[in-house]
Amino acid sequence: MSSRVCAVVGIGPGNGTAFAKRFARDGFACALMSRSTDQSSALAAELPGARAFACDVGDAKSVERAFGEVRSTLGDPEVVIYNAGSGVFGSFDDLTAEQFESAWRVNAFGAFLVAKQVTAAMKQAGRGSFAGDSAMVRKCAPCADGRSPVNMLRCVGSVQHSLACARRK
């Protein structure tokens, strides 16, 4: 376990895959984390040192189990890209409490659960980055004004910043 580790949470055909390929190109072992490992397993086969892990970010036990597996097989993540997202498309008036809670569990609560799994090791190591890709807030009815609890975890260019910081170490 000598490689630096990047956990990409939320692997799909777009951003999640692009993030994983970018960090793998910079020599990171990538933990590819998603509810289903169908797509992430295929991607892991393409990337040196990558592994797929099943992780439902809305379920605390699933997040704890998945990050335990990441730590035991790859090591502690130095970089986490939180790309998991769920949106409800429509107007605020049409949104139900159940729909809002479901989106919140993935977009905010899931980010909290993941951060709780990685921050202690990052603090101990004296380095680490947690970047949230929350583009889904622009489409999510309760977040149509562009604000969301996930914004506390995001900044403009956070992925590029994480890469720049990782290269300096």
* pLDDT tens per residue, range 104-130: 899 899 999 999 999 999 999 999 999
Res. 168 pLDDT band, cuts 50 70 90: low
> Strands 129-132 and 79-82, how do they pair?
parallel
27-42 average pLDDT score: 96
Res. 29 pLDDT band, cuts 50 70 90: very high
Do residues 146 and 138 lie in contact, with contact meaning Cβ atoms separated by under 8 Å? yes
Give the model confidence (pLDDT) of 59-73 as tens digits: 999 999 999 999 999
Is residue 63 packed enough to be buried (19+ CB in 10 Å), middle (13-18) or exposed (0-12)?
Answer: buried
CA 57 to chain CA centroid, Å, is 9
CA distance 51 to 41: 7
CA 97 to chain CA centroid, Å, is 25
* pLDDT score, position 1: 58
Residue 161 has pLDDT above 90, yes or no: no
Query: Helix, strand or coil for residue 88?
Result: coil
Residue 19 has pLDDT above 70, yes or no: yes
* pLDDT score, position 2: 58
Give the model confidence (pLDDT) of 124-150 as tens digits: 999 999 998 754 444 433 444 444 444
Task: Give, in degrees to the nearest 5, the angle at Cα 59 between 56 and 60.
Answer: 120
Mean confidence (pLDDT) of the chain:
82
Share of the chain above pLDDT 70, in %: 78
Please give the domain boundaries of the chain with CATH numbers for all domains. Answer: 5-168 (3.40.50.720)
* pLDDT score, position 122: 93
CA distance 15 to 26: 17
